[in-house]
Amino acid sequence: MTRDFSAVAFVSVLFAGVLVAQQPPREQDAVELRQERAQAELDAPKIVDVLELKPGMTMADVGSGGGAMTVVLGKWIGTGRIFATDITDHALRWTRQYVDKEGLKNVTVIKGAAAATNLPDACCDALLLRHVYHHITEVEAFNKSLHASLKPGGRLAIIDFVPDKGSSLPRGVPANRGGHGIPISVVIEEIKAAGFTHDRTVDKWPPGDKIQPGFLTLFRK
Indicate the pLDDT class of residue 16, thresholds 50, 70 and 90: very low
CA trace torsion 71, 113, 122, 189 (10° rounding): 100
Residues 84 and 117: their CA atoms lie apart, in Å, by: 10
CATH number for 25? 3.40.50.150
Q: What is the pLDDT of residue 25?
A: 52
Look at residues 82, 95, 214 and name the one whose alpha carbon lies nearest to residue 158: 214
Residues 1 and 114: their CA atoms lie apart, in Å, by: 25
The one-letter amino acid at 131: H
Indicate the pLDDT class of residue 34, thresholds 50, 70 and 90: confident
pTM value is: 0.86
The one-letter amino acid at 188: I
Mean pLDDT in residue range 57-86: 96
Mean of pLDDT over the chain: 88
CA trace torsion 100, 106, 108, 109 (10° rounding): -40
Domain count, the chain: 1
pLDDT digits (tens, 9 = 90+) for 83-120: 999 999 988 998 999 999 999 999 999 999 999 999 99
Mean pLDDT in residue range 148-165: 97
Residue 110: is it exposed, middle or buried by C-beta count within 10 angstroms (0-12/13-18/19+)? middle
Enclosing domain of residue 16: 5-220
Does the structure show a pLDDT above 60 at 11? no
